[in-house]
Copies of this chain bind each other. A is one copy, B any other.
Amino acid sequence: MKFEVNVLGCGSAKPSPIHNPSCTVVNFRENLFMIDCGEGAQKELQRQRLKLPRLNHIFLTHLHGDHVFGLPGLLGTMALSGLEGDITIHTFEDGKKILSSIFDYFNRGLPIDVKFNVIRPEEAVVFENDSLRVRTVPLRHKIPAVGYVFEEKPGLRHINREMCDFHQVPMWAFNRIKAGEDFVKDDGSVVANALLTKDPSKPRSYAHISDTSYIPDLAEKIKGVDLLFHETTYLTPDKDKAKERGHSTAAEAARVALDANVGRLLVGHYSSRYKDDTLFLDEALSVFPNVILGKEGLRISV
């Protein structure tokens, strides 16, 4: 079942001719979850054919403009498009205050219900349904900031059709057996669930880490995720600048990927001072072998 990460903006605060400010959309089973909403996000959604009616949650990492300024326009457009559902913005108390004052003024009378889920810069589960859990990890930036980890929940066990036929398990019992129950025959004998099923698919996970300076023990908190986005605003020669401004180098991001033993590392949030993005790829590859160079329009299956 679908679990994809779409890159809508992988530039940083100063705009660049080729990159948008921060925006990422996770498509989990055709439900869209947006992480950050930089200026121009709504146009990029349209360009990438990501459908507004499927978007009900926006997760903000922190309250710098390049992660937020696309929100008022996006919500205005949702309202103008006649979408009457609600949308939940996950952000700090401050974000709730300033964003609701903007929406109250500009979206007055529009038929959209904007809800806020107030989060804190600490570890917590901030969203959960039957198949997905989203949790925060605190980051180290100039203002409070969090990353988000999207974790698929373990699925049902798979029916072993041959064994079920052999033990004459009727179809109506399949749902219970998928859920892990043993099967009790008419004669009272019990067939163990392990005989009738195979292990479910391995749950998948995605961690989104932006913006932060290098945090050595972050790796523990995102151990083994299949895909890690970690910001790479700078290259190693500007390492001091990165630290001073609450950002990471490509090598530091790759170090986190290595320590966390992730499947793949996605890089982005490039400073506009560098004219060649492949420098980020090269630097990260010198530390970790499996790196994807972030780019607007990229769609990655987790």
Contact = CB atoms under 8 A, between A and B. Distances in A.
Contacts of A180: none
A15 B69 contact: no
B43 A81 contact: no
Contacts of A76: 13, 65-66, 69
A39 B98 contact: no
A130 to B, nearest CB: 34
Interface stretch (A100-108, A163-171, A209-217, A289-297): A100-108
A14 B102 contact: no
Interface string A1-31: 0000000000001110100010000000000
A106 B65 contact: yes
Q: Is the interface of A mostly helix, strand, loop or mixed?
A: helix
Interface residues of A, number: 31
A94 B104 CA distance: 13
Please give the count of copies of this chain that the complex contains.
Answer: 2
Interface string A39-76: 11011001100000000000000011110111011001
Contacts of A14: 77, 80-81
A105 B143 CA distance: 12
Contacts of A13: 76-77, 80
A43 B40 contact: yes
A94 B94 CA distance: 22
Most chain B C-beta atoms within 10 Å of own C-beta, residue among A46, A77, A94, A105: A105
A233 to B, nearest CB: 13
Interface string A82-111: 000000000000100010011001110000
Contacts of A63: 105-106
A43 B77 CA distance: 20
A16 to B, nearest CB: 8
A80 B63 CA distance: 16
A295 to B, nearest CB: 17
B15 A42 contact: yes
Contacts of A17: 43, 46-47
6 contacts: A13-B77, A15-B77, A17-B43, A65-B73, A69-B72, A69-B76
